[in-house]
Structure 1
């Protein structure tokens, strides 16, 4: 599916040689109220859900840029990050309705209102949830254009990505096999190139998980540009879901958009771990922390 992507185009960013090794993470919380996730009757998520999940950022030893429209979440996040140097946390209060992604809300609402349209809560029911998924790419683009980072890699990470209670400081590092001209995602299901946009939207299909993705800024910019074009194109065709469906459509046989930047997929054997990419990046860091026994230890074993 990438035959035409040689060489992969990139945007010239003048400060690339000054960047340090590491990953800067971009995340966000927008107050969308409480909404049902999936078809289980008791699966609802809202402010209190994210308030619990976001506690893990108090132990997250990477630079983080956090966008929000919630004063309460802004205050909480600032308090969670106080153990780290100030330069490692940037909190940006933002009016979501001024973003490209949320300006799409009236158009997406019309798509979802069609009587024949599939109902997957909240993906194809709540237009603001769909907008929040598109905002990932919007916000990453802002960060890159405003040069708000000092690392060679940038990543989007959902505010609720870390769901376990963290008691020790941890960090995420890039996998050693990461290709610099690719965008890394976690693969959930087998890629089927022949699917139509209607197939993907109407059955809520997922190829790669949108909770975390990783790349260099000079390749993320053309990738984001292609993503925005795909969203706009699909809306004109009365089709929309979340970013996961848009990404699948982009890299399928959808001829309206010629994608320029390839995807590098990572996956668990069972392809059931939606957080595998983050877990892998954490393992890369943890492996460096392991203490090796001294040579004297091995001498003692020969006695």
Structure 2
């Protein structure tokens, strides 16, 4: 600090000298004060850099959030279960023949489906096709090879079913009431879905059964997709596509022998709890109809279970939520396409 008293204690020999000395002292004092404005440009620059970094961080956070959202869309909390049991070639309907090769061709569509997928099969070729098509989705895929399909409850019913179909008077609807393995494979759908839940393979809020050929109409297309549970789905029920109006007062024996339709069995949806209960309910229906010497595909078993007589005997506790086909497209596959969300389409 400058001492101003020095300027006024010297002998006055020059009248202007004190003023000169004072001016010099003030100048020295001013120079001795730090330049407080000097750091301001540095501070401003630091704030600018900080703002830029925060902007970059915010953008990175937005990108991470978007990736999480995209992942949630690509891998929804919805596990899909399917199966292929090699029944050889068989007649379907009046003139169509279904072959193992046909199913193998349809299976390629699973390579574009982003959901977790569980596949059961007794066919090594089919197993390899699934593994190859899901190579980029390996972590989301489980293939269960069934060494002996007779180990499944559904195929253990074959001898009894074969006895029913061997009766010349039993109506013939290819392959439902002709090839005993066919209804066995249909019943197995409910069994493998229950097994998937019990084994906690890709645990999820919802599970669906999906026929191998369900998306046969888009096999040749390129877009990837995921399946999402419909927003209006009731978790206490099982979802199916409604194929036809039902007469619930009809005798189960009549609708089973006439091959009557109400729901499409190509896809059904439920929560783990309802599906496990529904499997037990479905088994009760199958065993009852077998005891009555009646058999057909799962579509007739479900229909029969919910007729007036079926309700009295089976006493179902899990009800159905039916989706009525809307707009163009094959009505048999309505529910699946209602759930389908395209993730990219290279043709657009």
When normalised by structure 1's length, the TM-score is 0.84
How far 1:166 sits from its partner (Å)?
3.0
Q: 2:141 & 2:85 partners in 1: Cα distance? A: 18
Mark the CA change 1:289 to 1:162 in structure 2 (over 3 Å): closer, same or farther.
Answer: closer
* 1:91 maps onto 2:147 in alignment: no
Query: Secondary structure of 2:331's partner?
Result: coil
* 1:44 maps onto 2:97 in alignment: yes
Runs of 4+ aligned residues of structure 1 deviating over 6 Å after TM superposition are: none
Contact 1:21 1:152 in 2 (8 A): no
Structure 2: which 5+ residue stretches go unaligned? 1-74
Larger helix proportion, structure 1 or 2? Answer: 2
Match of 1:175 in 2: 230
Question: Which of structures 1 and 2 has the bigger CA Rg?
Answer: 2
Pairing of 1:184-263 with structure 2 (within 5 A): 184-253=239-308, 254=310, 255-263=312-320
Deviation track 1:131-160 (CA, whole Å, cap 9, x = no partner) reads: 000000111111111111221000000111
Contact 1:81 1:89 in 2 (8 A): yes
* 1:115 maps onto 2:172 in alignment: no
Which of the numbers 67, 70, 76 marks the counterpart of 2:120? 67
Q: 2:326 & 2:259 partners in 1: Cα distance? A: 22
When normalised by structure 2's length, the TM-score is 0.74
* 1:274 maps onto 2:332 in alignment: yes
Match of 1:34 in 2: 89
Contact 1:188 1:272 in 2 (8 A): no
Q: 1:289 & 1:78 partners in 2: Cα distance? A: 22
Match of 2:155 in 1: 102
Pairing of 1:281-296 with structure 2 (within 5 A): 281-282=339-340, 285-286=341-342
Q: How many residues align?
A: 265
Mark the CA change 1:48 to 1:272 in structure 2 (over 3 Å): closer, same or farther.
Answer: closer
Query: Secondary structure of 1:264's partner?
Result: strand
Match of 1:6 in 2: none
Contact 2:76 2:115 in 1 (8 A): no
Query: Secondary structure of 1:120's partner?
Result: coil
Deviation track 1:220-248 (CA, whole Å, cap 9, x = no partner) reads: 11111000111011101100000000000
Contact 1:130 1:242 in 2 (8 A): yes
Query: Secondary structure of 2:266's partner?
Result: strand
Contact 1:59 1:168 in 2 (8 A): yes
Q: 1:134 & 1:105 partners in 2: Cα distance? A: 11
Contact 2:127 2:143 in 1 (8 A): yes
Match of 1:14 in 2: none
Structure 1: which 5+ residue stretches go unaligned? 1-19, 291-303
Q: 1:272 & 1:132 partners in 2: Cα distance? A: 23
With a CA cutoff of 8 Å and minimum separation of 6, indicate the structure with the bigger relative contact order.
1
* 1:76 maps onto 2:129 in alignment: yes
